[in-house]
Amino acid sequence: MTRVQIQGVTKKFGRQEVLRGIDLDVQEGERLVLLGPSGTGKTTLLRIIAGLEVPDRGAVLFDGEDVTRIPPRDRNLAFVFESLALWPHITAYENIAMGLEFRGLPQDEIQRRVQRVAEYLGIGAFLDRRPTQLSAGQMQRVALARALTREPRLFLFDEPMAHLDPPLRVQIQRELLKVHADTGATFIYVTHDQATASRLAHRVAVMHQGKIEQVGTADELYDHPKTWFVAGFIGPHLMNFFDVVIRQGEGGLVADSGQFRMPVPDRAIEYLWEWRDKEVVLGIRPEHIHHPAFLPKAVTTTSPLKRIRAQLDLKELLGDKQLYYCKGFKISKVRAHVQSLILGEGFEYYEMTEGDTFLALVDAAADDPVGETIELDVEVDQCKFFDPQTGRAIYS
């Protein structure tokens, strides 16, 4: 159980600024996930924590002690890479035992530890096989077993599950949770996969272009994003963005797009008051735009709704829900901007979101014909508002 503090860390490779002032405090025994698109510096930050890279500026502290220049082997941590770094020409047993042998432990002690960890991870029967004779999941467990034999207080994982099939990935991630519960070690885990992040993390740090945009629980990031980047990146579907002017109406403030007028949520009024007669960006998730005939129960009882009319352009069935692609409102160019920030290698949007199409996630039973003008209900209280200059949330 190590507390990890990262203070003002910067790192350049050549002229490229890969980390631009990172501050992060990971508590003892916490599972923290570094989440972000490709190339945002997650791996570099993890390597700095491991001691495999030295930052240009700033410090890394373990339990209050500055370890910035301490070599990896003296940091009492285990690093599990995506490549797993297993030696192909030796057995699983030898791969697991290697670190212990390196440390000069007696053979009977090594055997005891390897056996115990192998039983624990269910690979006891495969110890005499070489990595090429193991399945992907077994190799994963061998790499994890090797990390566990070191009995580290801090585990660092760099996308070690990325190439596994989703069911196997989920299973191994459950085992990681078990390892965490049994060891109480601190976990720092790098991924670009949101599902992984919400399954594993106590808190998620969202990284973007060498900075941490926001740290919070998965729910906090989804419900209260601090920037439009986080708002767009977190969640199953890209947020809809509209340019609106905040106006003082008779019943309070309204967000006026020129095509619709949305009441400002009561709780947002104090934040938007000074934005009267100015343009802001309104964000609303597809999950918060409903079909009037299929309103979820929680919505009917608690939420003020704003009825809008739009033309149904395309439908896409997603299990018990379907995505309605609708036309009728001008979409903010912020959406294309956010989408371009998010889209990196390894991150995929399946949605056809170009042009002036916005999305609503409605019940699969809704059967409006494509081409029709339909009515939809927007949950007013779920509207978020962003500063069009800085991208920071005014209210979320």
> Which residues of the chain form contacts with ligand ATP (CB under 6 A)?
13, 18, 36, 38-44, 192
Q: How far is the CB of 38 from ligand ATP (least distance, A)?
A: 3
Cβ-based nearer residue to ligand ATP, 192 or 199: 192
238 and 323 Cβ atoms separated by less than 8 Å: no
CA distance 265 to 384: 9
Q: With respect to ligand ATP, which residue has the nearer C-beta, 207 or 280?
A: 207
Q: Which two tokens stand for residue 276?
A: 């009267």
**With contact defined as beta carbons under 8 Å apart, do 54 and 69 qualify?**
yes
CB nearer to ligand ATP: pick between 18 and 341: 18
Q: Minimum CB separation from ligand ATP for residue 151, in Å?
A: 27
196 residue type, one letter: T
Check if the beta carbon of residue 78 is closer than 8 Å to that of residue 150.
yes
Q: Nearest approach, Cβ of 161 to ligand ATP (angstroms)?
A: 13
Residue among 40 and 95 whose Cβ is closer to ligand ATP: 40
Q: The tokens of 200 are what?
A: 């594993």
Q: 95: how many CB neighbours lie within 10 A of its CB?
A: 23
Q: Which is nearer to ligand ATP, 42 or 290 (CB)?
A: 42
Nearer to ligand ATP, 124 or 344 (CB): 344
- Half-sphere CA count of 250, side-chain side, radius 13 A: 0
Q: How far is the CB of 382 from ligand ATP (least distance, A)?
A: 30
Euclidean distance between the first and the last CA atom of the chain, given in angstroms as a whole number: 34
Q: Which C-beta is closer to ligand ATP: that of 43 or that of 357?
A: 43
C-alpha pair distances (Å), 224 with each of 28, 103, 243, 263, 345: 25, 47, 20, 19, 26
Q: Do residues 215 and 204 make contact, with C-beta atoms less than 8 angstroms apart?
A: yes
The full length of the chain comes to: 396
**Shortest approach of ligand ATP to residue 17 CB, angstroms?**
9
Which DSSP string do the residues of 89-157 spell out, in sequence order?
Answer: TS-HHHHHHHHHHHTT--HHHHHHHHHHHHHHTT-GGGTTS-GGGS-HHHHHHHHHHHHHHT--SEEEE
Q: How far is the CB of 170 from ligand ATP (least distance, A)?
A: 20
CB of residue 143 to ligand ATP, shortest distance in Å: 18
Q: Which is nearer to ligand ATP, 41 or 232 (CB)?
A: 41
The answer to whether 256 and 247 have CB atoms below 8 angstroms apart is yes
Identity of residue 350 = Y
Rounded CA-CA distance 76/152 in Å is: 5
**CB 178 to ligand ATP: min, Å:** 26
- Name the minimum Å distance from CB 192 to ligand ATP: 5
Q: Whole-number minimum distance, CB 386 to ligand ATP, in Å?
A: 24
User: Where is 300: in which H helix or E strand?
Assistant: helix 297-302
Residue 212 or 376 with smaller CB distance to ligand ATP: 212
Three-state SS string across 192-260, please? CCHHHHHHHCCEEEEEECCEEEEEECHHHHHHCCCEHHHHHHCCCCCCEEEEEEEEEECCEEEEECCCC
- Which residue lies nearer to ligand ATP by CB, 75 or 192? 192
Closest CA to 223 of 381, 348, 358, 336: 381
Could you tell me the smallest distance in angstroms from the CB atom of residue 255 to ligand ATP? 35
Identity of the residue, 43 or 173, whose beta carbon is nearer to ligand ATP in the bound complex: 43
